[in-house]
Each structure stands twice: as structure tokens, then as C-alpha cells.
Amino acid sequence: MIRPILHFPDKRLREAGKPVTAFDEALRTLVDDMAETMYAAPGVGLAAPQIGVALRLFIVDINTGDDQPSDLRVFANPEIVETHGKIRWEEGCLSFPDIREEVDRAERILVRAHDVSGTPYELEAEGLLAIAIQHEHDHLDGVLMIDHLSMLRRRLVNRAMNRRAVAAE
């Protein structure tokens, strides 16, 4: 089921997610809904707080081309345990439609998480996968893309999103 994606300035985007404690059918259904929502948007990542579910859960699939097989990854209770290097990357966010901004991130990361069955794993990532993981991980703490911008860029994006919210009412 495709779920509505919250758009900034919705205050629920600032809420920190709670740990996933039940790796059950309800979680699998939530992950399926998140995947359907992300692919329909379309996007390369989606965090549970972006659909109003305050859990430490996100999904990422950087293989978005029609000629590429899906590489959907589930991150429950993730921790970024190592970061290396720095890179500036132009990011978008499903909660900020039509906004793209340059954000500084770690170039390579090591993340620990659990899959949808609760099995723990570690993943080393770089490039777009590392960027997407860091971006979605931020959502779990109520940190948004604009929090990484200069004060001027933040004001401009904030103004644009507030105008969009008023027009949508």
C-alpha cells in the first residue's frame, strides 16, 4: 500500500524514531508499504518517520533504473559506527519535493543494523549508497537535509516549503 509522505514543515519529521522491537509480520508489511511508497515517489530511500511511523527503520535501493535489478536493503535500528573521508553530494528528499541541495557527508561508512527478520549485519558503503544511508539515518533522529545547509540556503528552502504547504491547503 502506498502511504502518504510527510512534507516539511510537518512537525512529525522532527520526532526521533523509537527502536524496532518486534520483527514480525507487521514489520514486514510496513517495509513492503515503505518500498511501494518509495518506488512510486520515486526515490532511493525512505525512513519510517517520513510516513509518520516513529521507528528507527529505513530502506534504501540505489538501483533505480529499469534495466537494473532491485537491491532493496532494510535497516532496522541502524548505527553508523565508522566514517571516512568527506564528499559533497547533491541530495534530494521525498519530504522536500523538487528541492535539491549540496550536502557534505562522509565518503565511506560502516553501518550496523538488523534486517526485516531481526538478523544483525554490518555493511561497508561508499558513493550513493553511503550518502543514502546517512541521509535516511538522519531522519531517525529528526535531522533533516536543511539542517546541513548554510543559514541562507536553509531560509530559502524553508520559505519555499512553507509556500508549498500553504498552496496545498
Tell me if 1 is assigned to some domain.
no
Tell me if 2 is assigned to some domain.
no
What amino acid positions are annotated as catalytic residues? Answer: 136
Question: CA dihedral defined by 66, 93, 57, 17, rounded to 10 degrees?
Answer: -170
Distance between CA atoms of residues 155 and 73, nearest Å: 33
Domain count, the chain: 1
Tell me if 118 is assigned to some domain.
yes
| pTM (predicted TM-score) | 0.95
Tell me if 32 is assigned to some domain.
yes
Tell me if 5 is assigned to some domain.
no
Tell me if 144 is assigned to some domain.
yes
DSSP 17-55: PBPP---SHHHHHHHHHHHHHHHHTT-SEEEGGGGT--B
User: What cell was used for 8?
Assistant: 516539511
3-class DSSP assignment, residue 76: strand
Grouped pLDDT means (10 residues each) for the chain, 169 residues: 96 97 98 97 97 98 80 97 97 95 97 98 97 98 96 92 84
DSSP bridge pairs for 75: 58
**Domain carrying residue 114:** 11-168
pLDDT in tens, 68-100: 778 999 999 999 999 999 999 999 999 999 999
The domain that holds 34 is classified in CATH as 3.90.45.10
pLDDT in tens, 19-30: 999 999 999 999
Tell me if 3 is assigned to some domain.
no
Tell me if 4 is assigned to some domain.
no
